[in-house]
Structure 1
Amino acid sequence: MIPSFTTQRVTVADGVALNAAIGGSGDPIVLLHGFPQTQLMWRHVAADLAADHTVICPDLRGYGDSDKPEGAEAYAKRTMAADVVALARALGHERFALAGHDRGALVAIRAGLDHPDVITHLASLDVLPTLDMWEVMHGTSAAVGFHLYLMAQPPGLPEQLIGNSADAFFGYFLDLWTNDPAAIPPEVRAAYLKASREAVPSIVADYRASAGIDVEHDEADRRAGNQLRMPVTVLQQDWGAALGFDAAARWRAWAPDLEHRTVSSGHFMAEEDPGVVVKELRALLER
Structure 2
Amino acid sequence: MTRYAINGISLNADIQGNGFPLLLLHGFTGSSRTWQPHVSCWNPFFRTITVDLIGHGDSDSPHDADRYRMEACVADLLELMNQLQIDRFGLLGYSMGGRVALQLANAAPERVAALVLESASPGIADAAERKARIANDNALADRIERDGILPFIDYWQSIPLFQSQQKLPEDIRKGLREQRLRNSPAGLANSLRGMGTGMQSPLHDRLQELDMPVLLIAGEWDDKYVSIGHKMNNRLPRSRLEVVPNAGHTVHLEQPDVFDELVLEFFQSNIQGKRKGS
Structure 1 residue matching 2:124: 3-state secondary structure: helix
* Greater mean deviation of Cα atoms: 94-103 or 69-78: 69-78
| Amino acid across the alignment from 1:284 | F
Asked if 2 retains the 8 angstrom alpha-carbon contact of 1:24 and 1:55, the reply is: yes
Task: Say whether 1:168 aligns with 2:154.
Answer: yes
Report what 1:65 is aligned to.
Answer: 58
Unaligned segments of structure 1, at least 5 residues: 1-6, 139-145
User: Which SS does the other structure have where 2:6 is aligned?
Assistant: strand
The residue that corresponds to 1:4 in the other structure is none
Distance 1:73 1:271 in 2: 32
Q: 2:181 aligns with which of 194, 215, 219?
A: 194
- Seen in structure 2, the aligned counterparts of structure 1 residues 48 and 183 have a Cα distance that, compared at 3 Å, is farther
Deviations 1:130-163 (A, max 9, x none): 125x78x79xxxxxxx998632339645532454
The separation in 2 between residues aligned to 1:244 and 1:106, in whole angstroms, is: 12
CA contact (8 A) 2:117 2:216 kept: yes
Equivalent residue for 2:95?
Answer: 102
Q: Is contact 1:228-1:254 (8 Å) kept?
A: no
Q: TM-score, normalised by structure 2?
A: 0.82
Shift of 1:189: 3.1
Which residue is 1:9 aligned to?
3
Give 1:28's aligned residue: 21
Structure 2 unmatched ranges of 5 or more: 271-278
The one of 187, 209, 224 equivalent to 1:227 is: 209
Q: Quick one: structure 1 residues 69 and 177, their matched pair in 2 at CA, closer, same or farther if it must change by over 3 Å? A: farther
The answer (yes or no) to whether the contact 1:122–1:232 under 8 Å persists in 2 is: yes
Q: Given residue 238 of structure 2, which amino acid in structure 1 is its aligned partner?
A: D
Q: CA RMSD in A?
A: 3.2
Residue 55 in 1 paired to residue 48 in 2?
yes
Pair 1:203-2:188 in alignment: yes
CA distance in 2: counterparts of 1:123 and 1:245, whole angstroms: 15
Give the TM-score of the pair, scaled to structure 1.
0.79
Alignment of 1:180-191 (within 5 A): 180-182=167-169, 185=172, 188-191=175-178
- Alpha-carbon distance in structure 2 between the residues aligned to 1:254 and 1:112: 15
The alignment of Structure 1 onto Structure 2 pairs a total of residues equal to 265
CA distance in 2, matches of 1:187, 1:86: 34
Aligned-partner Cα distance in 2 for 1:103–1:46: 20
